[in-house]
């Protein structure tokens, strides 16, 4: 597989795994209902995503950086809603 194909594969994976958080974030913003969201799980996931983002920055991998920056933003939004309305 060529390097360009590998980058495209990485960006496709990044898009799918990051955009899957949009419906949850949108629902949480719209309803402000966070009862079913685990604070502990969201916190651990945010920390793990931040570590992945740091890793991506260190190795200079744009698919890893893009995926984790977007995911971290969405997860932190959900987490802040949980803390505010939970």
- Domains of the chain (ranges, CATH numbers): 3-85 (1.20.1280.290)
Q: Is the pLDDT of residue 86 over 90?
A: no
Q: Which two tokens stand for residue 42?
A: 């969201």
In this prediction, residue 75 carries a pLDDT of 94
Residue whose C-alpha is closest to residue 47's, from 19, 24, 71, 16: 71
SS (H, E, C) the chain: CCHHHHHHHHHHHHHHHHHCCHHHHHHHHHHCCCCCCCHHHHHHHHHHHHHHHHHHHHHCCHHHHHHHHHHHHHHHHHHHHHHHHC
What is each CA distance from 17 to 10, 63, 66, 69, 83, in whole angstroms? 11, 11, 11, 12, 24
| pLDDT value of residue 64 | 94
Tens-digit pLDDT profile for residues 14-70: 899 888 889 998 999 999 999 999 999 999 999 999 999 999 999 999 999 999 999
């Amino acid at each position: 597989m060529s390097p360009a194909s590998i980058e495209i594969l990485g960006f496709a994976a990044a898009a799918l795994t990051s955009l899957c958080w949009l419906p949850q974030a949108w629902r949480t913003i719209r309803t402000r209902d966070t009862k079913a969201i685990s604070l502990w799980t969201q916190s651990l996931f945010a920390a793990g995503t931040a570590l992945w983002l740091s890793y991506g920055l260190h190795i200079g991998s744009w698919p890893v950086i893009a995926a984790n920056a977007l995911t971290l933003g969405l997860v932190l939004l959900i987490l802040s809603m949980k803390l505010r309305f939970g």
